[in-house]
Amino acid sequence: MSIEHTLRVKALDRHRIRLFGPDAVLKAWKMTPADGETLAATFTEGWRGQRTAPTTGDGARSNDISQWQFEVAVPADWENAQAFWKSVTALTIGDARWRISKAEEPVGVSLVWKVKANRE
């Protein structure tokens, strides 16, 4: 991993600890017709989440606080990471749950996925 990636992951962890606490764990869930919802992965570091204020058609900010954006650092194994994030349907932290609405692929060499989700 590059120095830039290492610094980026440390910044994600500082933000995560500030918002969710040092013991917060992000769990990713996927859905299959045969098994229903199953745990796909658990992230103990290298992620953060924040509320986002959606904008309306005229550019005004909405008061909807259910929209969140998560950033998750992934290993350099691009093909498996891409297949993984396209299969994930929900995220949880403790009892809080978010339904994924969009997963944005990393840009350049960042190796950080941006996942947009709505709180349930």
- 47: its two tokens: 């992620």
The stretches in the chain having pLDDT less than 70 are: 1, 54-56, 59-65, 78-79, 109
Asked if residues 72 and 82 have their Cβ atoms less than 8 Å apart, the reply is no
Give the domain range for residue 29: 3-119
Burial of 111 (0-12, 13-18, 19+ CB in 10 A): buried
Domains of the chain: total: 1
Q: What is the pLDDT of residue 61?
A: 67
Q: Which whole-number Å values give the CA distances from 23 to 8, 26, 31, 98, in the listed order?
A: 20, 10, 26, 19
d(CA 29, CA 93): 11
pTM value? 0.82
Asked if residues 81 and 30 have their Cβ atoms less than 8 Å apart, the reply is no
In the numeric block, the tokens 């990393």 are attached to 106
Q: What is the pLDDT of residue 54?
A: 67
Q: What is the pLDDT of residue 9?
A: 87
d(CA 91, CA 31): 12
